[in-house]
Amino acid sequence: GGSGRRKLCVVDWDGDGALDVLANSPNAELWKNVGSREGMTRLINQGTLFKRNISSHTTSPTVVDWNGDNIPDLLVGAEDGFLYYGRNPQATKKR
């Protein structure tokens, strides 16, 4: 435990104008930017972005506007060789 490396992607995932972090895990985690204090950005783990784990070890998250709605969607490469797509839930809300 504790070895390895973090793979991450920096993006305004929730459309609030602040850059959030998507990080690897057996799924993909959202770390929401909740602002700065004393010159340091605070990120709070909001949990995973898929309902089930898509890998037993680690993933490699990135974003792309897959469906052309100008909202970043999730594309995750997993160790099983597959790519997994997740539509951004913000697509159902007005940005």
Judge contact between 58 and 26, C-beta under 8 A: yes
Q: Examine residue 59 and state whether it is found in any structural domain, yes or no.
A: yes
Q: Examine residue 3 and state whether it is found in any structural domain, yes or no.
A: no
Q: What's the chain's Rg over C-alpha atoms?
A: 14
Q: 3-class SS at 54?
A: coil
Q: Examine residue 1 and state whether it is found in any structural domain, yes or no.
A: no
**pLDDT for the residue numbered 27:** 81
Quick one: what percent of the chain has pLDDT higher than 70? 87
Q: Examine residue 76 and state whether it is found in any structural domain, yes or no.
A: yes
pTM: 0.82
| Beta-bridge partners for 32 | 44
Count of the separate structural domains present in the chain: 1
Condensed to tens digits (0 to 9), the pLDDT of residues 72-93 reads 999 988 888 888 898 998 866 6
Residues of the domain holding 21: 8-92
- In the predicted model, is pLDDT for residue 12 greater than 90? yes
Q: Examine residue 17 and state whether it is found in any structural domain, yes or no.
A: yes
Q: Examine residue 2 and state whether it is found in any structural domain, yes or no.
A: no
Q: Which residue has the tokens 């993933």?
A: 59
